[in-house]
A and B are shown apart, each in its own frame.
Chain A
């Protein structure tokens, strides 16, 4: 780099920075979010700083001002419209800091709102190109806070860091080419002053990866691909250095198939500061037609435990080896401690609930959390591998015309016994609250070859409900016994996040438009409120001026109306929306 050039650039930056200094420094001495604040997020009740209400992902708040006795008096404090015509799925989890709420909405929009009054402070509407390729609705799941920045990913695969004060862009990074199918929908994670992100696009044959950037500047720190054979990199003194191939090339993938192998890291990760590991789920291997890729197909449908300093894989656990059902493994891994053990729970799309030792990835327990699982009889606790039943869609090359393999009916469906919507864990009851769905699918394979930017499935499918009266089931699951302690059945599939509190409550939304509160021990429905559109967002709670507030986005959408097949009749009268609701106890 030429030094005079660099000097001037720096000087210019200083000049620009000084213009905004009055705004930036006014009252922001306490407003800066530090890594220590984020690590303590699960126990700090005056703010919500991270995806998961604490980066261990328990979605548990110790707040108990709203509790089983008084939850019936919960009333709206304010409501906020996301506006415009862009009313699609609102899957975000808001974050709150020093009286400011930051919430994302469909089409890569971000709003800053006064968390007491609901007044808008500013909004950022990302200009999206026409060619974006989101597979499963134009959602966004939330932003991350770091220092004086609010950071989120966009559908055209960019990371945008905005000033919390002004909403102006401070830095932006291009992650990848949206025309090849890359996009971003997950909330970023902040670990050791880095912003950690994945990529969406597993339906287009992109290769998943986890990336770390300096959270203050956006400069690259490391990159770890999620499919074996791909090189990882680390940046040392600004130079990109090879940091070892992921896995061993061709160990579990045939030929060149690993080059477009999927395993998108689209769900966002969690960070456990107790074991200093980042946990990232990986999606399905591509294409869906598993006959084209014999082998386990590492590291698809897995949880990866990554060393935050180097991005190297410390351990992995694969839920569905040689996935032939699109049993994407991105679902969150939630840390919990019990009996002196550091464990973690994961409810997979494939119907099994897994309890792992989070220090090494060893399987401690695995059991079904839905009523019907066709593809496997169980999970062998010694080997950690599923005991398959052989219910796999046929190989199209063995069919008469070579165009369509034998179709099978299999449960769960590819939309999963549980999809992206995050579950909650209460250290009070030691139960997980899992938003489950009971459905199956007819599934068949078709020939497919990779083409940039085109869907890379090689499968056909249609989803069917398994029961007349319900698809969704919120279940309280005991990770020790594997028993379902209580359940709440819902007509339409559940698609929203769950939260539990020290007040003994479990909150979740329904596509029918209700935010509901349940007794955490019995499952009794104690309160509900109709928000006007389906709730597929993630509830949060915080305390402000002595009152406990609860917020949830409302706005029906997500993958179900797009991919739901025969489920359509249960959801066709659900109307779209786009708003945020905030509740508190009635004053009267």
Chain B
């Protein structure tokens, strides 16, 4: 269901008061977040925005582990989605990930770090140029972004970095992919440890045609675990890199663990 706009009278009233013709927010933020206006301005720009329950953001109400909060974003109810943007408003780094679904469903599972209780939202852009926004608040004890990653305590983290393990589950309509990539995903907010994270992932079919493209940011949990819904396939290629240029490369097969880089 679409919670569409406040009454038209109010809209006109606001419009008259605002000298600059700017798409002003009319429907109240269902999560009543102090950051919403800023998020909209900086991440979504001037495009029209609606709060829309068809963008489902599933996550626990309370984070048991602030460094690993599982999130599932599902915008399949909207049909075609050209971009999917996930952000955590009260994190010191807001953007979590971006997805260009292309051949995949607009659905992604992953884990994030949260610094304090925060709205976690997903914005899905439909081909008509409309952003559809859904979200939930996660309560958290906090500190997930400024505590060192577990890997950085382990002197040997670099030797497994970039290793991919995963599997395909063929379904009737589509193939479910779940994979884990070994990487510290450092936020750069821990003293003495620079930001170091996988920032680009592409999934391709066996011929190398692009299935879906992901841009990850610092708040994605270390050793990212990612779930996607892809077309029916037997093999998926994973290609990507981190912000230091280290490559991620793997082939993931049905029923088998993916071979490592």
**Residues of chain A having any CB pair with chain B under 8 Å:** 2, 4-9, 12, 84-86, 109, 125-127, 129-131, 156, 158, 160, 168-172, 179
Contacts and interface: CB of A to CB of B under 8 A. Distances in A.
Interface in B170-212: 184, 186, 188, 191-196, 202, 204, 207-210
B209 A169 contact: no
B245 A169 contact: yes
A8 to B, nearest CB: 4
B208 A4 contact: yes
Contact of A6 (B152, B158, B194, B208): B208
Interface in B219-259: 239, 241, 243-246
B15 interface: no
A4 B158 contact: no
Given A8-B207, A127-B186, 16 more contacts: A2-B207, A4-B208, A5-B208, A9-B208, A9-B239, A12-B202, A109-B194, A126-B244, A127-B184, A127-B193, A127-B244, A129-B157, A129-B158, A156-B158, A160-B245, A169-B243
A2 B186 CA distance: 35
A288 B170 CA distance: 61
Nearest to B195: A125
Given A6-B208, A127-B196, A160 B244 contact: yes
B83 to A, nearest CB: 13
B191 A85 contact: yes
Contact of B156 (A5, A109, A131): A131
B245 A172 contact: yes
Contacts of A8: 204, 207-210
17 contacts: A5-B208, A8-B204, A8-B208, A8-B210, A9-B239, A85-B192, A86-B192, A109-B194, A125-B188, A125-B195, A127-B194, A127-B196, A129-B155, A130-B152, A130-B158, A169-B243, A179-B159
A5 B192 contact: no
A127 B183 CA distance: 12
Contacts of A7: 208
Contacts of A169: 241, 243-245
A172 B209 contact: no
Contacts of A158: 244
Interface size class, chain B: 20 to 34
Interface string B125-149: 0000000000000000000000000
Interface of B: 152, 155-159, 184, 186, 188, 191-196, 202, 204, 207-210, 239, 241, 243-246
Dominant SS at the A interface? mixed
A55 to B, nearest CB: 26
Contacts of B241: 169
A3 to B, nearest CB: 9
Contacts of B207: 2, 4-5, 8
A63 B188 CA distance: 41
Given A4-B207, A8-B207, A160-B244, A125 B194 contact: yes
A172 B208 contact: no
A498 B70 CA distance: 57
Contacts of B196: 127
A54 B163 CA distance: 43
B194 A130 contact: no
B138 to A, nearest CB: 28
A84 B245 contact: no
B220 to A, nearest CB: 15
A8 B208 CA distance: 6
A320 to B, nearest CB: 36
B257 to A, nearest CB: 22
B208 to A, nearest CB: 4
A84 B188 CA distance: 11
B246 A172 contact: yes
Contacts of A129: 155, 157-158
A86 B196 CA distance: 17
B155 A131 contact: yes
Contacts of B239: 9
Contacts of B192: 84-86
B208 A130 contact: no
Contacts of A168: 243
A2 B208 contact: yes
A270 B208 CA distance: 43
A85 B194 CA distance: 12
A169 B240 CA distance: 13
B100 to A, nearest CB: 10
Contacts of B245: 160, 169-172
Nearest to A178: B158
A5 B210 CA distance: 10
